[in-house]
Amino acid sequence: MCGIVGYNGSENAAEILLEGLAKLEYRGYDSAGLAVRNGTNDVEIVKAKGRLRVLAEKTNDGKALKGTLGIGHTRWATHGEPSENNAHPHISDDRNVVGVHNGIIENYQELKEKLLRHDYTFYSNTDTEIAIKLIDYYMKKYQEGPVDSIARAMMRIKGSYALAVMFKDYPEELYVARKDSPMVIGIAEGATFVASDVPAILKHTRTVYYIGNQQIAKIGKGTAEFYDIDREPIQLEAEEVTWDAEAAEKGGFEHFMIKEIHEQPKAVRDTISSFVKDGNIDLSEAGLSEADLAAVRSVIIVACGSAYHVGLAGQYVMEKMARIPVRVELASEFRYRDPILCADDLVIVISQSGETADSLAALRLAKEKGVPTLGIVNVVGSSIAREADRVFYTLAGPEIAVATTKAYSAQLAAVYALAIQLAAVRKQINEEEYHDLIAELQELPAKMDRVLEDKERIQWFAAKYSNAKDMFFIGRGIDYAISMEGSLKMKEISYVHSEAYAAGELKHGTISLVEEGTLVVGVCTQNGLFEKTRSNMAEVKTRGAYLMGLTSYGNYAIEDTADFTVYIPRTSEYFATSLAIIPLQLLGYYLSVARGLNVDKPRNLAKSVTVE
């Protein structure tokens, strides 16, 4: 949520800041603003409610703002309604300090009362204005410079934040700090870039620093100096971003989402190639040895949204294949019910961004209790990647559309690898079965390509039912997990009321919602459950539902029940999710397009949810 960009160099800052903010639009926002200064001149601030193009128009695409040092921000309203007044950047009463902020300050009311006692006034309803004025208060009280004033403010602020701040008396410098919200610093010759996420700076540099939790950075022109919260200088290692810059562009596709749907075979292929070595699964890069896995007595998967649905599919696969107990927990609930954890559990936290606030909090709880942790993340250097005991990187590349597709599929591949290796070390599969599963895993990308070849039929079907008001997805076993993700895609980008139900639960109340014309998607990829699910599909059809069936080639009996059927190539039933999810992603995408909606940036949603 929200986006921060910063620049200190020799070019016109406003144009670079606008360009960077455009790369962060996927994070979700309702207003935007820029603050730019030129040498010793006063800071010029321009803010706008609504889309970024409004800000661009107000500044003539940045050309109307002159200066080589600046910060920009896209705001997602948390404290205070969306408005130009509440938009960032915010400034102290005497314009001594100006800054932007991502995150939520939990004790903002307490801090505001403190500042009111010291004659500060407030023009907005935001917690960010309080943070900027708190920094100003410490700057004036102790007169020990920007690093000191920011550090003192950090010690008083409770909550999560990433801050980018400029000071009137330091016209050549920009300062940043963070706690639990992402921040990346890019270095180029004579220029330094700051952003919430890598795509914003990838055009300009691949040399980056991932500033750590409760750390501060002083940003010069092509330089960065780092400090801990005790104001002591520290050294950070620069990293090289290996993403292809074109991966963050649409590449001829109408939307990022459809591009990323088509990139799924590559994302899965790359992820599988990272752990299959010489025909065996090697998890050493994730820090997992066979002895580590053999010591695990149960698995707890913690995640949010689509990553949670990966966990549900993983639960079926791990329990059936490896015969190990698996719990799947919503990260937002995990730490509030005082979970029972044991030293021989393995807590797996799944997050595309590696910054999801609830998932990060769950990880920290597990670590506090002394339980081994594994992060499955897509972003190198992210908070979860740094803080987990071990990290399994998925290789999906940058994912821009808010609705996840290729990151979800890459996460599934990682979970499959863990399941196979757990099964092997627990002697639940023999060597022949082990290598057969790996071979089947390696064939998934080619089979995913075959599923994509059927997209025109799904596009036709979506156009035909673009006025649907209610949809239900039903399935059993793994098919229920697939249904949940398919239903979420429909809600996220098509704004259709959609629910997923375990097919066997229909008769316990849900079937009363089915009426003439209700669209029901029946997922039937598990042979042992095929007839039972088909029977449930027949139940809703007799009550007027229009049925879409989703099954594997060969299960043609489904056509006796379904009105429209989509087939996927046969694969191990353990891996069916990877193929079956693609038609449901396409259905959500094409239905959204047919309804004329903003596919990549659906209303009220953000790519990276860094607040609770």
Residues involved in catalysis: 2, 607
484: three-class secondary structure by DSSP: helix
- Quote the longest CA-to-CA distance of the chain: 80
Q: Which of 25, 130, 7, 113 is nearest to 62 (CA)?
A: 7
Q: How far is CA 81 from CA 30, 84, 124, 484, in A?
A: 9, 10, 10, 32
**Calpha distance 496→438 (Å, rounded):** 38
Task: Please name every residue paired with 175 in a beta bridge, in sequence order, or none if there are none.
Answer: 165, 218
Nearest to 13 by CA among 38, 46, 32, 33: 38
Q: From the CB of residue 123, how many other CB atoms can be counted at a distance below 10 Å? A: 11
- 96 forms beta bridges with none
Phi, psi of 447 (to 5 degrees): -70, -30
CA distance 18 to 32: 10
| Nearest-angstrom CA–CA distance, 593 and 88 | 32
Q: Are 524 and 499 in contact (CB under 8 A)?
A: no
DSSP string, 239-282: EE--S-GGGGS-TT-SSHHHHHHHTHHHHHHHHHHHHEETTEE-
Q: How many CB atoms lie within 10 A of CB 80?
A: 16
Strand stretches in 14-68, DSSP E: 31-37, 44-49
* C-alpha pair distances (Å), 531 with each of 88, 286, 551: 57, 40, 12
Amino acid 470 reads D
Among 209, 153, 218, CA closest to 183: 209
The sign of the CA dihedral 461, 465, 468, 474 is negative
According to the 3-state scheme, what is the secondary structure of 375-404? Answer: EEECCCCCHHHHHCCEEEECCCCCCCCCCC
* Residues forming beta bridges with residue 301, ordered by sequence position: 328, 348
Taking CA atoms, 526 is separated from 158, 413, 450, 567, 570, in Å, by 49, 19, 20, 13, 11
CA-CA distance, 604 to 247, in Å (whole number)? Answer: 25
In this structure, are residues 328 and 308 in contact, taking their beta carbons and an 8 Å threshold? yes
Using alpha carbons only, what angle is made at residue 453 by residues 451 and 458, rounded to the nearest 5 degrees? 80
Question: Angle 127-142/146-156 helices, nearest 10 degrees?
Answer: 130
Cβ atoms of residues 412 and 578 within 8 Å: yes
Kindly give, in sequence order, each residue whose CB lies less than 8 Å from that of residue 607, ignoring residues fewer than 6 positions away: 26, 27, 28, 353, 399, 400, 401, 402
Closest CA to 52 of 81, 86, 87, 79: 87
What is the SS3 assignment for 232? coil
